[in-house]
Each structure stands twice: as structure tokens, then as C-alpha cells.
Amino acid sequence: MSDRAALLKGIRAWLVLFVVCLVLSGATAFPLVHELHWTEDVLRSLSVPQHLPALMDWIERVRRGLDTADADYPFLLYGTDWLAFAHLVIAVAFYGPYRDTVRNIWVVEFAMIACAGIIPLALVCGPIRGIPFWWSVIDMSFGVFGVIPLYVVRKKIKRLERLGPSASAVEGGVGETLGDGQAVALGVGGVDRVDEGAGEVAGGGDHRGVTGP
């Protein structure tokens, strides 16, 4: 396996892992009421109230709040439905770097910025909304742990970029090496010029001009 193929395989594996976590994080925001009841039952069966009373008190308070909202103000939970949907939409965006890795590195960088933004959001909005500080720390950990695979992916993409264009099918396009050392990518839309006026060596030493679509 070439260096390029190995890098691309590693990048895509990390991207798939991140997307799976993102989808799970979003999908679990839909059935919040049922999840809180299930979580409370599990914690009680594990004797958590005896060992971590503060955690149990907080879970019970959140569950009561969700029960009240679900019974009397169900439209409030519509906001968490949109939160879940946003996670799924962001996950779809990662198809870009999966398909065309170098060109769509900006998606990875955008996600890294989003992870960094979790920390000030939790620190500012947490106290305003009455969130315990230790729970805000848990929220911030999502940003810290989330940026790790993204950093690995970005580093690998930069290495892939330094390898230069490939002379074979790479990321949905076909690379053709020209006689003067240039390369041209044949994609869905036709021929993309790498260098204006680049020539392709034909039989007998003649040169033919390569033009774009």
C-alpha cells in the first residue's frame, strides 16, 4: 500500500468514527424524556445515589423538568429536536472531506473551531441557566475529546497534500502524468488544467495542447 493510500485510509477511518459519534450524539437528543427515565432507573440499580448523591439529585431534577415540559409545555422539546437535527446535518457535511479530502479540509477546521467554542459556551451559559459547574466540565470535555480525532485528521490531510497530485485514480478523479512532468485531473466535469498551456507528449515527440472543459 502506497503512502497516499495509507494516509487516505487512516483519514477516512477517523472521519467515520467522528461521524458515528456525532450521529449518536444527535439521535439521542430526540427521546430525552424516555432516556432520562431509563438513566435514572439504571443509576438507582447501580447504587449511584449512595456514592454520588449530587449526580443523582441533578438527574432527578432534570427528569422532573422534562416531565413537566413534556406534559404541559411540549413545544419546548421542539428546540431539542432541532438540536438533534443540527447534529445530523453537520454529520452530512463530513462527506465532503471523505470524498475529496484535501479540497474539503475546511470542514475539519470548521469542526475544530466548533469544538473550541464549546468551552466558552459552557462557561458563560452554564451559570446563567443554573447548570452545576461540574456538569459544565462534562460538557466542555466533549469539545476537548472531539478535537482530538479532528486534529489527527487535519495533520494527516496536510501530509497527504504535501505528497502532491497522484498519477492514478485518487478521490474520485483520474490523474494523468504529462510528458513535461505536469499532471492533469480527469473528473466528472471533464479535464481540469493543472498548468495553463501544459502539453501531453504524443508519439514521435509531438505535443498536443490540453484544454479544459
Whether 115 and 196 share a structural domain: no
Q: Are 200 and 179 in contact (CB under 8 A)?
A: yes
Whether 19 and 61 share a structural domain: yes
Whether 93 and 154 share a structural domain: yes
Whether 51 and 100 share a structural domain: yes
| Residue after which a domain boundary falls, among 129, 146, 162 | 162
- Per residue in 42-66, pLDDT tens? 999 999 999 999 999 999 999 999 9
Whether 125 and 78 share a structural domain: yes
Grid cell 443540527 is found at: 86
Q: How many domains does the chain have?
A: 2
* pTM to 2 decimal places: 0.74
- Per residue in 124-178, pLDDT tens? 999 999 999 999 999 999 999 999 999 999 999 999 999 877 644 444 444 433 3
Grid cell 449511584 is found at: 48
Grid cell 467554542 is found at: 117
Q: What percent of the chain has pLDDT over 90?
A: 74
| Residue after which a domain boundary falls, among 146, 162, 178 | 162
Alpha-carbon distances, residue 63 vs 69, 79, 156 (angstroms): 10, 17, 43
Q: Measured between alpha carbons, how far is 213 from 193 in angstroms, rounded to an integer?
A: 9
SS3 121: helix
Whether 103 and 70 share a structural domain: yes
Q: Measured between alpha carbons, how far is 59 from 152 in angstroms, rounded to an integer?
A: 34
Q: What domain range is 28 assigned to?
A: 3-162
Whether 93 and 183 share a structural domain: no
Q: Are 48 and 116 in contact (CB under 8 A)?
A: no
